[in-house]
Structure 1
Amino acid sequence: MPSPTRPQAFHTGTTRFSRRQLLLGGIAALLELPGLAGAANAATAAPAAARQKIASRLRIVIPANAGGGWDQTGRALGEALLASGAADAVDYENMGGKGGTIGLAHYVQQYGNQPDTLLIGGMVMAGAIALQKPAVNLSAVQPLARLTSDYIVVAVPKDSPIRSAKDLTAALRSDPRSLTMAGGSAGSVDHMFAGLLIRAAKAAPDQLSYLPFAGGKDVVNALLQGKAQLGLSGYSEFSEALRSGQLRAIGISSRRSVFGLPTFKEQGVDADMANWRAVFTGKGVSAARAQELLQAVEQATLQESWLRALRSNRWDSALQSGKDLREFLELEQTTASVMTYLLKLKS
């Protein structure tokens, strides 16, 4: 994954935009609107002397349904925190809906001052906030660490006539309304990438037929039940259905081929996008306690259980914290706002 401190390129149609160009152009457009990885080395586990118990019981709030990427991330982190000795027990609380904004508001109201409660979030939440403009946003929590990054797989049922990115763009150009795309919540990274695909096909963004779901398992079910013709989700959420042959992958949103899947760029569709996931704590938690939590998370990412989760879920480790993370999140939130406007995404 490219360093978050470098300009990152987005592709629309045959034109390549750097993130800086996209933001400058998009921000100018927005102003016209009224009212408007330093990853841990995987070779060794944390030294025993560095391990420190920070709580008898920790809680991890996961603002998504069970089985999706955030759920997998939160539970893998919890297992690693236990393995590192940071806590004796970890409780998990799932609350899905609206790209994580329902769970975010719940977390802020119930646990904003709780020193033993963590929140999982990511780019999906930034996109949902840009789209929905809820009363509670990421300014109501404090970031501890970015954890992982992965990419969007576009898949179809096994008997679909769409077999390549070329087939997909042709179908979108011909009749975009007839091709329902299922993905994460409205405004999510899946939704944004769907918008990029329809623009790459030179179809009008407002012709996008998008069916949002709170979790990756729901996306798989929508494809298998014929409710959607195209699905967008992370590789880990599609992997079982892909291995069984129930679904077939058309491409992946990375810049280079991964998991043996061709990128859209390799197939002549100039569109790519990365996803990321992070862990937060409450705004009312003291700086000293936030630092303790961060150290516990960093030690957790050295545990074998965490490294195993990275391998099995095909996640890239993307550990980042402090000032670099705050600046990264500011850029991502601005990017989400601009993309939502330029792609004319609707909730």
Structure 2
Amino acid sequence: MSRPRTVLVAAGLAVSLLVSGCSALEKTLDGGSVAGDFPSRNVEIMVPAAPGGGWDLTARQFQHVVQEKKLLGERAVSVVNVTGAGGAVGISKLVTKNRKDPHTLMITGLVMVGALTLNQSQITVSDTTPIATLTAEQEVLVVKSDSPLKSLKDLVEMYEADPSKVSWGGGTIGGTDHITAGTLVKAAGADPSKVKYISYSGGGEATAAILSGDVTVGISGLSEFEEQITAGKMRVLATSGTEPATLNGKQLPTMKSEGYDAEVQNWRAIVAPPDVPAADRQRLIDFVTKVNQSPEWAEIRKKNGWTDFFKTGDDATRFIAEETTRVQALEKELGIL
């Protein structure tokens, strides 16, 4: 009678090992790694836009700090650009193709919230796993240096006289730049729905359009136009924050200081795919926190005029959800949704 018992015990052990092995295999195959072992391979940061814009700059500066400080040990971090539909192509890939994988991250922000809302996308930033908000940046309204527009008041008066003669160049339709244009026009008492807005897929394209005169006024983050402003090729009409920004020792006017009750801040964040295991999520938060606390990242913020806007985990998740609701209401009010 002892022999059947031995066979039964052996069979039970085999089943137990098989179940355990399948569970481990599922974790490995469905997320590219066993839960809780981040980083077990190289990390990829997706930029859901063309090179040259604010997301791209944020990702590559982040990559620089990680590599400089060896925050992933011997693991490498790469940056990949995925363009299309104001970030919709990139976030769709993150959500549907990289589920559970903590080694694929994405830079996002207010621009994407606005674009996805406008396009009534079935996928939103809230479908990701927010790791942290990183920075906030004022928008800046610029014209080429030989433009007849000398002040923000000149721009508003031109728009009030004939909206069709004012073209506004910036990022995605419904994004931060577009929202800034509409917010200013609304604050001036004019009709935001008549804003003639031209969207460019990257900061490089927008810069070229402003300098060539293809658009009347350009809108983006200060860091994206800083080189051209410093070189005297662009003139600042106003920034969009509460406090005035300083460039080359000169204080720049804000929309409010120019007499218009308007304010917009462009925030950026880093997110992971949905369903990242809790242990990996915490490791990602710890990893991003180390970047944020480094002197190198502080210097990058200062250089680019970025405000420290660090929120992690549940705080970041709540903030992004609230921003999504706010932008939906704002875009309806501005007549662009």
TM-score above 0.5, yes or no: yes
Q: Please list every run of 5 or more consecutive structure 1 residues that lacks an aligned counterpart in the other structure.
A: 1-51
Q: CA deviation at 1:53?
A: 7.8
Alignment of 1:157-172 (within 5 A): 157-172=144-159
Question: If each structure's helix is expressed as a fraction of its own residues, which one has the higher value?
Answer: 2
Q: Which of 203, 208, 216 matches 2:195?
A: 208
Once the two structures are overlaid, the 10-residue window that deviates more, 54-63 or 150-159, is 54-63
Q: Which residue of 2 aligns with 1:59?
A: 44
Match of 1:86?
A: 72
Partner of residue 71, structure 1: 56
What's the CA shift string for 1:300-338, capped at 9, x where partnerless? 122233222112211111110123222211210011100
1:263 paired with 2:248, answer no
Report deviation, 1:115.
2.1
Q: Return the letter of the residue paired with 1:62.
A: V
SS in 2 for 1:194: helix
Alignment TM-score, normalising by the size of structure 1: 0.82
My pick for the range that moved more, 264-273 or 300-309, is 300-309
| Count of equivalent residues | 295
1:199 deviates by 1.7
| Partner residue, 1:146 | 133
Once the two structures are superposed, what CA deviation does each residue of 1:131-179 show, in whole Å capped at 9, x if it has no partner? 1111221232110000000110000011111111111111110111111
Contact 2:126/2:321, CA 8 A, preserved across alignment: no
C-alpha displacement of 1:103: 1.1
Three-state SS of the structure 2 residue aligned to 1:54 is: coil
The residue type equivalent to 2:93 in the other structure is H
* Greater Cα radius of gyration, structure 1 or 2: 2
Q: Secondary structure at the match of 1:301?
A: helix
Structure 1 contact 169–200 (Cα < 8 Å) conserved = no
1:76 & 1:276 partners in 2: Cα distance? 16
After superposition, the C-alpha distances for 1:215-273 in whole angstroms (9 at most, x for unaligned) are 22221111112210100000100001101111101000011211221011111111111
What is aligned with 1:3?
A: none
Partner of 1:182: 169
Counterparts in 2 of 1:240-259, with a 5 A limit?
A: 240-259=227-246
Contact preservation (8 Å) 1:81, 1:297:
no
1:100 aligns with 2:87: yes
Give me the whole-angstrom Cα distance separating, in 1, the residues matched to 2:57 and 2:299. Answer: 12
CA contact (8 A) 1:111 1:282 kept: yes
Q: What is residue 287 of structure 2 aligned with on the other side? A: 296
Higher relative contact order structure (alpha carbons within 8 Å, sequence separation ≥ 6)? 1
Structure 2 unmatched ranges of 5 or more: 1-36
Query: Is the 1:53–1:86 Cα contact (8 Å) retained in structure 2?
Result: no
Distance 2:99 2:218 in 1: 35
Helix, strand or coil at the partner of 1:181 = strand
CA positional deviation for 1:104:
0.8
Shift of 1:109: 2.6
2:181 and 2:321 map into 1 onto residues whose CA distance is 23
Question: Given that residues 126 and 320 in structure 2 are in contact (C-alpha distance below 8 angstroms), is that contact kept between their aligned partners in structure 1?
Answer: no
Deviations 1:76-105 (A, max 9, x none): 112222214224311111012332122111
Distance 2:312 2:193 in 1: 37
Aligned-partner residue type, residue 126 of structure 1: V
Q: Give distance in 2, aligned partners of 1:79 and 1:332.
A: 29
Match of 2:320 among 307, 325, 329: 329
Q: RMSD across aligned C-alpha pairs, in angstroms?
A: 1.6
Partner of 1:43: none
- Cα 1:53–1:286 shift into 2, 3 Å: closer
Partner-residue secondary structure (3-state), 1:78: helix
User: Given the alignment of the two structures, is residue 123 of structure 1 paired with residue 107 of structure 2, yes or no?
Assistant: no
- Structure 1 range deviating more: 264-273 or 144-153: 264-273
TM-score normalised over the length of structure 2: 0.84
Residue 315 of structure 1 aligns with which residue?
306
Of residues 252, 260, 272, the one that matches 1:281 is 272
1:31-69 CA distances to partner (integer Å, 9 max, x unpaired)? xxxxxxxxxxxxxxxxxxxxx983441100111111111
Cross-structure match for 1:24? none
What secondary structure, in the 3-state scheme, does the structure 1 residue paired with 2:316 have?
A: helix
Q: 1:342–1:53: structure 2 CA closer, same or farther, 3 Å change rule?
A: closer
Displacement of 1:201 in angstroms is 3.1
Identical positions, percent: 33
